């Protein structure tokens, strides 16, 4: 398993708080921070990808909607002009 050291600037107060943690607590803290960062980046990337996809499909979806607008109007008109007989 590959590992890498990362330098993170910390305020003196925060460094003091972390320094008083046990080594397992420090490891858990930094593990959680990295996991949060990775999940946040994945979520942001997904949002970007979805936004891009919707923008890419916008013209096609508009063309499809315009192509079928008349059909929708005809169906609406036919449905609302028929007389309904109740038995």
Tens-place pLDDT, residues 21-79: 999 999 999 999 999 999 999 999 999 999 999 999 999 999 999 988 888 888 888 88
**Whole-prediction pTM value?**
0.55
> Residue 87: pLDDT band by 50, 70, 90 thresholds?
low
pLDDT the model gives residue 51: 95
Among 77, 55, 58, CA closest to 66: 58
Neighbours of 69 (CB within 10 A): 10
């Amino acid at each position: 398993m590959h590992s890498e050291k990362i330098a993170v600037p910390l305020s003196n107060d925060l460094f003091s708080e972390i320094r008083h943690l046990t080594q397992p607590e420090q490891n858990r803290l930094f593990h959680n921070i990295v996991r949060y960062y990775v999940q946040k980046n994945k979520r942001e990337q997904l949002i970007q990808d979805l936004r891009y996809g919707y923008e890419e499909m916008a013209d096609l979806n508009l063309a499809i909607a315009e192509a079928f607008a008349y059909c929708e109007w005809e169906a609406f008109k036919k449905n609302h002009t028929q007389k309904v007989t109740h038995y």
